[in-house]
Structure 1
Amino acid sequence: MVINMTNTWIYKQLFTNWKKFEVIYVSILILIQLLVFFVVPDSLIGMISGVTGTLSLVYGMKGRKIAFIFGTIQCLAMTYIAWISHAYGSFAMDIFYVISQPIGWFMWGHEQATRRFSSANRKKIFVGAFIAWLIGWWILALLHGQLPYFDSINFVISFIAQLLYILKYQENWSLWIVVNIANILYWSILSIQVITGATAIGSLGTYLSQVALQAALLFNSIYATKVWASGEADNEGGTK
């Protein structure tokens, strides 16, 4: 008996309904992660986090549940990286991310269409996110975390963005853009500190892999804003 793989769930999730542009840019993003590991091969877990994180967000951009499988692997890796880097805001959020993956899997199985807030509610969410960021900054500063003003974005803005992502609200990508930009700066500063000898916490390979990952995710978040607004991510990216 021959099984037609093209009709299986895993095949449809992984390989169907891709644009040529998407295939090219996903390949480039993954190659960047591998290149960073090749140049500074001191953090295998950083590379794993980068590759699975890229795949998770790319498939999330496509609106596909398989994103949460890759997301679970990436979040577990990031939890470890955040802990050894003393990035306590990121550590707390990564624990939440791990827990949120099966929840997202369940929610996306029942809600096939993306949603959008009204203009008034959108403003309330963004103002609330800003206030929450200030509070998070204050708390993380008390805990003596590294770069608390950036880490707070991971601590609170990411939390809000992840909730909106699970609930399939299009506005999640706007918040992720803020998070990705902040994370590029955050991990870049830590990389520079390691290079200059200003800190002995963490490793250069780990930090550079995160810079590459966040740059990839920033591009993906910008593109995902367009994809979700167009309805292309509905019905698990056209796989149903």
Structure 2
Amino acid sequence: MNGHGWLYSQLFTNWKPFEMAYVTVLVLLQVGVYALAPDSAVGMVSGIAGVLCLVYGMKGRRISFLFGLVQCLAMTYIAWISHAFGSFAMDIVYVISQPIGFFMWGRQAATHSFQPGTRNKIFAGAFIAWGIGWFVLARVGGQLPYFDSINFVISFIAQILYVLKYNENWSLWIFVNIANLVYWSILSIQTVTGDNTIGSLGANLSQVALQGALLFNAVYAQKVWSSGEADNEGGAQ
């Protein structure tokens, strides 16, 4: 398949009406947040690219990683100005993982799952690592380290599983997205009340909208991957 055919297949084929509707709503939500607090164009770019990255990831398509690279570069900047050091560290990892994921998904089309025993060990290890990350981030002065550690540690494990196409990545992402939704909501409220002068309201609100979108997508993606619907939707083209 030539480049134009591959790009068209990745972007436009095999969409369900429900999926088309919800991705449109999620993108418009990012634009709406920017219209409400237009002080961070980078935040809007991060939000839109993040939505497209995870939606195409739900579909099992390699182009997900191209949108992911844009989102991660933008999010790295936002995390730095917000002193979200765990997020900043993870966004660097995300940037590096995008070309790796693009290559890996070109070689592995089907999704797969761990045995229950292995799955439980991974989840238990993630919980222990979260506690260690919490301790470290608290020592370096990160904001809300108990939440930021989830983004720093659990996201790392989830991203590895995502790149390797293990279904369990979505369970971890659901946990991460819930924590991030609370995290950025708290920072937004603190910015409005004047309790926090780090970062900007627009950047924080864009991340609230993004995490809400990613949470919805992760729940739906878990269903799609578990049912095997993503296996033949362009992931290995």
Match of 1:174 among 171, 176, 182: 171
Instruction: Give the Cα–Cα distance (whole angstroms) in 2 for the partners of residues 236 and 162 of structure 1.
Output: 20
1:227 to partner: Cα distance: 0.4
1:28 matches 2:25: yes
Size of the aligned set, in residue pairs, is 236
State the match for 2:124 in structure 1.
127
Aligned-partner SS, 1:86: coil
Query: Partner of 2:104 in structure 1?
Result: 107
Q: For residues 136 and 113 of structure 1, do their structure 2 counterparts lie closer, same or farther at Cα, with a shift above 3 Å needed?
A: same
Give structure 1 regions of 4+ aligned residues with deviation exceeding 3 angstroms. 235-240
Residue identity opposite 2:33 in structure 1: V
Match 1:207 to one of 170, 187, 204? 204
Q: Does 1:76 align with 2:73?
A: yes
State the alpha-carbon separation in 2 of the partners of residues 237 and 157 from structure 1.
Answer: 28
Which of 16, 19, 22 is matched with 2:16 structurally? 19
Q: Distance in 1 between matches of 2:195 and 2:17?
A: 44
Aligned to 2:172, the other structure's residue is in SS state helix
Describe how 1:21-170 pairs up with structure 2 within 5 A: 21-170=18-167
Compute the RMSD of aligned alpha carbons. Answer: 1.4
Deviation at 1:52, TM superposition (A): 0.2
Question: 1:172 corresponds to which letter in structure 2?
Answer: N
Give the CA deviation at 1:235. 3.4
Work out the CA distance in 2 between the residues paired with 1:59 and 1:238.
9
Structure 2 counterpart SS, 1:115: coil
User: Contact 2:126–2:153 (CA<8 Å) still a contact in 1?
Assistant: yes
- Equivalents in 1 of 2:36, 2:185: separation in Å? 16
TM-score under structure 1 normalisation? 0.96
Deviations 1:139-176 (CA, angstroms, capped at 9, x unpaired) = 00000100000000010000000000000000000000
What's 2:5 paired with? Answer: 8
Q: CA deviation at 1:236?
A: 4.0
Counterpart residue number, 1:230: 227
Alpha-carbon displacement from aligned partner over 1:165-195 (angstroms, at most 9, x marks no partner): 0000000000000000000000000001100
* Separation in structure 2 between the aligned mates of residue 114 and residue 161 of structure 1, nearest angstrom: 14
Deviations 1:63-100 (A, max 9, x none): 00000000000000000000000000000000000000
Unpaired runs of at least 5, structure 2: none
Please give the alpha-carbon distance, in whole angstroms, between the structure 1 residues aligned to 2:66 and 2:168.
23
Letter in 2 for 1:12: S
State how far apart, in whole Å, the 1-side matches of 2:47 and 2:197 are. Answer: 22
Question: 1:185-204 maps to which residues of 2 (within 5 A)?
Answer: 185-204=182-201
Q: 1:206 is aligned with what amino acid?
A: A
Q: Do residues 216 (structure 1) and 213 (structure 2) align?
A: yes
Identical positions, percent: 70
The answer to whether the Cα contact below 8 Å between 2:107 and 2:236 also exists between their aligned partners in 1 is no
SS of residue matched to 1:235: coil
Cα distance between partner residues in 1 of 2:196 and 2:218: 31
Unaligned runs of 5+ residues in structure 1 are none
CA distance in 1, matches of 2:204, 2:56: 24
